[in-house]
Amino acid sequence: MHWRRLPPDLGPDYSEDLLSAARDIMKSDQHNTILIVGASRGLGHAMAATFLQHGWEVIGTVRDLSSHTPLHDLAKTHPLRLRLATLDIRDEAQLAALQATLPPASLDMLFVNAGTTNRDPSQTIGDVSTEEFYQVMLTNALAPMRVIERLQQAVKPQGLLGVMSSGQGSVTNNLTGQRELYRGSKAALNMFMRSFAARPSSASHPLVVMAPGWIRTELGGADAPLTIEETIPRLVNVLLDKRQRPGLEYLDYQGRTVPW
């Protein structure tokens, strides 16, 4: 497992400003830290940028540190408060390596942002290939829960643990069908989080299953009505508010409860 801070773009007067910022961080023990799994681009990248704006320290994972992503650019502008770590969420060995680098109770928040779908989302579930079913369920349901379980000890006793689900994971709200494999995978993630919340070891934690809305991303498509810029700042505020409420909630980006 590898992680690093990227160097800033150095200018003639950078050194004193950089040293001053470093001293400010070292003098304060009040900073908060979030680990965002899946932060290279899209929603995860926007979450990282927004938490940095709130003054947090951020650890963001990418699949390959050597492959340039928007998160690399963000790290150059925030060299003291943004660290990059390697993690393919489906790779158990990489997850174990990341776990080994995180001291117990070192995180104030852990958020897992993962989502994929099959090549033809219009397929009925019976037409989905076994391989695609496996890959989507692994990425959307099993792998996020492995992260939550393996990294729980790195989160402070009252720290928040959350996953990016979807409003399409709601069984109650599924009145139109469609996107059957994606819906099923997110519903599975929601159920796994409810089981996790029922364990005594989870009692002190605020837990969130987040429905971000239909957003214009690579997964959401160009026809989505919402933009990253209008949703993610509100989503982050919902997470910050949720820190005061232990227990599991299924929320949208406006803080409204989504029916299970």
Structural domain contains residue 17: no
Is 60 exceeded by the pLDDT of residue 254?
yes
> pLDDT tens for residues 91-117?
999 999 999 999 999 999 999 998 898
- Average pLDDT (230-240) is 95
Structural domain contains residue 162: yes
Q: Parallel, antiparallel, or unpaired for β 82-86 and 3-4?
A: antiparallel
Read off the DSSP letter of residue 167: G
Query: Which backbone phi and psi does 213 adopt, to 5 degrees?
Result: 95, 170
Structural domain contains residue 161: yes
CA distance 44 to 52: 12
CATH for 237: 3.40.50.720
Structural domain contains residue 216: yes
Structural domain contains residue 69: yes
* Strand ranges for 113-205 from DSSP E: 155-164
Domain that holds residue 146: 30-252
> pLDDT tens for residues 115-158?
898 999 899 999 999 999 999 999 999 999 999 999 999 999 99
- Average pLDDT (60-86) is 96
Q: What's the mean pLDDT when you consider all of the chain?
A: 89
Query: Do residues 50 and 232 touch, judged by C-beta distance below 8 A?
Result: yes
C-alpha angle 42-173-243 in degrees, rounded to nearest 5: 55
- What is the structure's pLDDT at 18? 39
Structural domain contains residue 21: no
Into how many domains does the chain fold?
A: 1
- What is the structure's pLDDT at 3? 53
